[in-house]
Amino acid sequence: MMNEGLHMNQALPLFVAIPLGAAFLIPILVRVWRRLPDIVGNLSTLSLLVMSLTLVGKGPSTYYMGGWRPPLGINLVADGLSVLLLVVVSLVAFCATLFSIPYMERYTSKSRYYSLFMLMVAGMNGVVLTGDMFNLYVFLEIASIASYALVAFGTEAEELEASFKYMIMGCVASTFVLFGVGVLYGKTGTLNMAHLAKIIDENGMSPAIWFAAALFLMGFGLKAAMVPFHAWLPDAHPSAPAPISAMLSGVLIKSLGIYSLARVSYIVFGMSKPISTIFMVLGGLSMIVGVLLAVGQWDMKRLFAYHSISQMGYVMLGLGLGTPLGILGGVFHLLNHSAFKSCLFLCSGAIEHEVGTRELKKMGGLWRRMPVTSTSCVISSLSISGVPPFNGFWSKLIIIVAAIQARHYVAATIAVVVAFLTLTSFTKVMRYAIFGSPAAESQKVKEAPALMGVALILLALCCTSFGLLYPVLKPLLLGPATDVLLRAGDYISLVLGG
């Protein structure tokens, strides 16, 4: 059997192999030279970024692990959606490792940090690339377990508590996912996503398959911190070191949560009315609850964390609409959110590094003392609030227009109101942290170290350019990603051939 138009890409396994190898090399190399973890960590994320960029615009490709063809073997598939996620993961991971070089100096064991970081990246890349349900679960666990340890990295009481809470809820979610995989396997006798999709397409959704869908919705929904399952996020994300917060909010909840949910419900089950309604309800709920909880926060990172819930709601809403424009808005907002949210978290890290606090009331007047950090913080704040011409505005606009076109006026209204509330809450951040009169703590602060600044500038540039580069991004990244979800049937013929 030949796969028309689907070429083998020998580089695909390297997306998992490079970070995995780096993860185990780093603890050994640190014995040779103290600086080697920094170098190896940054080189691996840089190589991943370059490799992911080479996949852009190439069309879908695949890889058979060990030469075993699906449905028997495990295959990796890099279609439009996977490539988009790969680029996002690699971009944020590169900026986070760059930021880590000066930032992680104050923690004791940098090599362990990089080791866990690389394991998390390997897990996320694996989740994004795999075409096999059980393999997805395995990579999901690799990324999750690494993230539990990273949340607790500071080993203070608060961090351990947050990590424990995150771990318990994350384990419950993983178990649900595993259970769902088991139900699917028992019912269909296969684990390959394309083969599963084919069987479900031919036989229709039986009650057992619906049950599996519900299990996945709960499991991946918890990883994505959708509102009834969001309780772990506001504790876990602020407790982690800043680059990890950026990774967790910027990409982990997307690749383990939103991506997996979209992949499973669109490709494997086939999008149907009940699932899309649930997507929209969860999305709407997350948007409102997340932003309402965020407005009252005075802890900078906690405020950002609540906004992650609310912004993920936008993505879910867009995906739930199911129209071409809605999905496009959803994936575009996913890309944008990863840029501005990781930038915001890195800014909070830079401020915490210099001022020594996360309390908004203890900051103030930072724009005089920390111009680079303040500028990137303002840019990313304006982006997340949806102020034109920054990237957040365009994706929110697309989602709102798509909701109106699909006659979901309530959803559109919610999206508009939440955008205003987001602006309100980020006005607070700018008023207290960046502008305003300096508090006692921020009288004598200096600008953050140069490498932190470089990471911030990179992400701030992404925030400003993604919106304006939309005509370039659409055919290269966003269009292919949208097509994957819109034409789910293509995936089956692409992977299984004919």
Partner 1 sequence: MKGMSLIVRTIARVVTTFIILYSAYIVVYGHITPGGGFPGGVILALGIMLLMLAFGKDLPLRKLPEGRASVLDCLGALGFWAIALLGFTAGYFFLNFLGKGEPFRLVSAGTMPLSNIFIGIKVGVSLFAVLTALSVYRRFYPPGEEPPEED
Q: Which residues contact partner 1 by CB under 8 A?
A: 10, 13, 17, 20-21, 23-25, 27-28, 31, 63-67, 157, 160
Enumerate residues 6+ apart whose C-beta is below 8 A from 152: 159, 160, 162, 163, 164, 239
Burial class from Cβ neighbours inside 10 Å (0-12, 13-18, 19+) for residue 281 reads middle
Q: Which is nearer to partner 1, 167 or 331 (CB)?
A: 167
Q: Are 64 and 10 in contact (CB under 8 A)?
A: no
Query: Considering the complex, what minimum distance in angstroms separates the CB of residue 192 from partner 1?
Result: 16
Query: Considering the complex, what minimum distance in angstroms separates the CB of residue 146 from partner 1?
Result: 13
Query: Considering the complex, what minimum distance in angstroms separates the CB of residue 104 from partner 1?
Result: 18
Query: Considering the complex, what minimum distance in angstroms separates the CB of residue 112 from partner 1?
Result: 9
Query: Considering the complex, what minimum distance in angstroms separates the CB of residue 282 from partner 1?
Result: 35
The number of beta carbons lying within 10 Å of the beta carbon of residue 278 is: 18
* SS3 assignment, position 7: strand
Q: Are 348 and 305 in contact (CB under 8 A)?
A: no
Helix axes 273-295, 409-429, angle to 10 degrees: 30
Query: Considering the complex, what minimum distance in angstroms separates the CB of residue 43 from partner 1?
Result: 17
Query: Considering the complex, what minimum distance in angstroms separates the CB of residue 44 from partner 1?
Result: 13
Q: Which is nearer to partner 1, 17 or 208 (CB)?
A: 17
Query: Considering the complex, what minimum distance in angstroms separates the CB of residue 26 from partner 1?
Result: 8
Q: Which is nearer to partner 1, 70 or 221 (CB)?
A: 70
Enumerate residues 6+ apart whose C-beta is below 8 A from 298: 359, 360, 361
Ramachandran area for residue 219 (φ above 0: left; ψ -120 to 50: alpha; else beta): alpha
Query: Considering the complex, what minimum distance in angstroms separates the CB of residue 20 from partner 1?
Result: 6
Query: Considering the complex, what minimum distance in angstroms separates the CB of residue 157 from partner 1?
Result: 6
Cα 489–chain centre separation: 26
Distance between CA atoms of 294 and 311, rounded to whole angstroms? Answer: 11
Q: Which is nearer to partner 1, 115 or 310 (CB)?
A: 115
Q: Which is nearer to partner 1, 23 or 316 (CB)?
A: 23
Q: Are 220 and 260 in contact (CB under 8 A)?
A: yes
Q: Which is nearer to partner 1, 121 or 382 (CB)?
A: 121
Distance between CA atoms of 312 and 254, rounded to whole angstroms? Answer: 8
Beta-strand pair 75-78/7-8 = unpaired
Q: Which is nearer to partner 1, 159 or 483 (CB)?
A: 159
Distance between CA atoms of 377 and 447, rounded to whole angstroms? Answer: 13
> Token digits for 313?
């709601």
**CA-based torsion, 186, 191, 196, 197: positive or negative:** positive
> Token digits for 55?
């996949």
Query: Considering the complex, what minimum distance in angstroms separates the CB of residue 14 from partner 1?
Result: 8
Task: Kindly state the greatest CA–CA separation across the chain.
Answer: 71
> Token digits for 460?
């701030």
Distance between CA atoms of 38 and 20, rounded to whole angstroms? Answer: 16
Q: Which is nearer to partner 1, 171 or 214 (CB)?
A: 171
Q: Which is nearer to partner 1, 64 or 179 (CB)?
A: 64
Is there a cis peptide before residue 71, judged by omega within 30 degrees of 0?
yes
Q: Which is nearer to partner 1, 27 or 182 (CB)?
A: 27
Polymer length of the chain: 498
Q: Are 429 and 303 in contact (CB under 8 A)?
A: yes
Q: Which is nearer to partner 1, 73 or 270 (CB)?
A: 73
Q: Are 381 and 344 in contact (CB under 8 A)?
A: yes
Query: Considering the complex, what minimum distance in angstroms separates the CB of residue 31 from partner 1?
Result: 7
Q: Which residues of 46-79 are buried (b: 16+ CB within 10 A; e: fewer)?
A: ebbbebbeebeeeebbbbbbeeeebbeebbbbbb
